[in-house]
Amino acid sequence: MRKQILALGGDGIGPEILGHGLRIAQFLADRSGIELDVLHGLLHGASWDAHGIFCTDEVLENARASDAILVGAVGGPKWDDIRVPGGAERQDGLMYLRHHLQTYLGLRPARAWKPLLNKTPFRAGTADSADVLILREMCGGAMFATMRGQREVNGLRQGYDLTAYDEAEVARFAHGGFQLARQRRKKLVSCDKSNVMESYKLWREVITEVSRAYPDVTFENMFADNCAYQLMMRPHDFDVVIGCNQLGDILSDMTAVYAGSLGMLPSACLSANPDKGPVFGMYESTSGSAPDIAGQGIANPVGTILSVGMMFTYSFGLPLFEAQIESAVEDVLQSGLVPPDLGGTATSEAMTDAILERLAE
């Protein structure tokens, strides 16, 4: 089997954690006889500095020709305030790829790890086996507002982003959510603010309509503020939680608390529902580019390494590898090796070396 991936380091810790993810991907590919072609490219700040644009046509073309993209992370103070003529997708390299590749289904699994329970702020028993899949819509909503800008209204500066979702955008995403819930514990909560916002009223209506096709999945609508509270108070009651682009972004960082660090969280953005076989996807740690620790070799590589596992599952159709990676990570954590974000002293390299060693056993 031959697979091509596009590797985009991006900015900050991005190139570092990408490198660690690639080591794991190459090792697993070699072991299983997969010929892995890795193309490299620049994204966001790195691309801006080289080409004056956050994502080039060449990168998009290479993405289209690949089975998957593995991303480090993007962004940093140097580029955060740059504004480019054009829509939301023009302002950010990752959003450019999400928009053009329509990777609308954002999977952000958040779970507890036994060896890390004492690194979390939870009281014993509260989140010991937390295992929640946050699903974030990746291609629409407020973040991709077409009506956006700053203007003067009544002599005051006003900023605005029109939040809009059409029923097709919500329905394709909801189907993905119910299908994924079917492969898990068959519980799905959709969160919104339909009590106060019109776009969320349609969101709730469409999701509720879609839910009727999945009578085997226990379905509930929740207001997002309450949902955030309940996710912290009683994590064990949740399985799949779906939300719009903005709510999903916030809830997925929040549930990283189950693991003890944002650096532990993987993610996948898929361009189709994965129930019928491998699909194109972008894989990256849920976190950002962590400029505060970039260049020190101490970033937690686990989020990216777990993302590689998701890539084997969803884009290569080889789910066994994801389980192997998770179990290797668990063993390494159990041995006491942890990076600084979890209170330890292990470097990124030491973490990856140890995970590779466990995988080789």
Pairing, β 156-161 against β 218-223: unpaired
Neighbours of 52 (CB within 10 A): 10
DSSP three-state, residue 27: helix
User: CB of residue 255 vs Mn ion: minimum separation in angstroms?
Assistant: 12
- Cα–Cα distance, 283 to 308 (Å, whole number): 7
- 217 touches, from ligand NAD, Mn ion, none (C-beta below 5 to 8 Å by class): none
Please, which residues bridge with residue 149 across strands? 160
Shorter beta-carbon distance to ligand NAD: residue 211 or 300: 300
Shorter beta-carbon distance to Mn ion: residue 239 or 249: 249
- 291 touches, from Mn ion, ligand NAD, none (C-beta below 5 to 8 Å by class): ligand NAD
Q: Select the residue interacting with Mn ion from 169, 249, 322, 341 (CB under 5 A).
A: 249
Q: Which stretch binds Mn ion (CB under 5 A): 189-197, 243-251, 277-285, 348-356?
A: 243-251
Q: Select the residue interacting with ligand NAD from 8, 70, 73, 333 (CB under 6 A).
A: 73
Q: Which stretch binds Mn ion (CB under 5 A): 93-101, 151-159, 171-179, 241-249?
A: 241-249
Shorter beta-carbon distance to ligand NAD: residue 12 or 176: 12
User: CB of residue 157 vs Mn ion: minimum separation in angstroms?
Assistant: 26
Shorter beta-carbon distance to Mn ion: residue 192 or 249: 249
| 289 interacts with ligand NAD by CB under 6 A | yes
Q: Which stretch binds ligand NAD (CB under 6 A): 73-81, 184-192, 205-213, 237-245?
A: 73-81
- Cα–Cα distance, 216 to 205 (Å, whole number): 19
Phi first, then psi: what are they for 137, rounded to 5°?
A: -70, 130
Q: Which stretch binds ligand NAD (CB under 6 A): 70-78, 171-179, 320-328, 351-359?
A: 70-78
Q: Which stretch binds Mn ion (CB under 5 A): 124-132, 208-216, 249-257, 294-302?
A: 249-257
| Run of H or E residues at 354 | helix 348-360
DSSP 183-198: TTTSEEEEEE-TTT-H
Q: Where are the beta strands (DSSP E) in 162-313?
A: 187-192, 218-223, 240-243, 266-270, 281-285
Q: Which two tokens stand for residue 351?
A: 């973490």
Cα 266 to Cα 3, 6, 152: the distances in Å are: 21, 17, 41
The single residue listed with the structure tokens 């976190």 is 287
Q: Select the residue interacting with ligand NAD from 211, 287, 313, 315 (CB under 6 A).
A: 287
Tell which phi-psi region holds residue 224, choosing left (phi > 0), alpha (psi between -120 and 50) or beta: alpha
User: CB of residue 351 vs ligand NAD: minimum separation in angstroms?
Assistant: 10
Residue 143 carries which side chain, given as an amino acid letter? M
| 284 interacts with Mn ion by CB under 5 A | no
Shorter beta-carbon distance to ligand NAD: residue 120 or 285: 285
Please, which residues bridge with residue 161 across strands? 148
| 75 interacts with ligand NAD by CB under 6 A | yes
What residues numbered 295-324 form the site for ligand NAD, per CB under 6 A? 299-300, 303
Q: Where are the beta strands (DSSP E) in 138-257?
A: 148-153, 156-161, 187-192, 218-223, 240-243
Give Cα 146 to chain centroid, integer Å.
23
Q: Which of 9, 78, 12 is nearest to 294 (CA)?
A: 12
User: CB of residue 253 vs Mn ion: minimum separation in angstroms?
Assistant: 6
Q: Which stretch binds ligand NAD (CB under 6 A): 99-107, 113-121, 128-136, 293-301?
A: 293-301
Q: Select the residue interacting with ligand NAD from 262, 279, 338, 351 (CB under 6 A).
A: 262
| 8 interacts with ligand NAD by CB under 6 A | no
Provide the binding-site residues for ligand NAD, judged by CB under 6 A. Answer: 13, 17, 73-76, 80, 94, 262-263, 284-285, 287-293, 299-300, 303, 341
Provide the binding-site residues for Mn ion, judged by CB under 5 A. Answer: 249
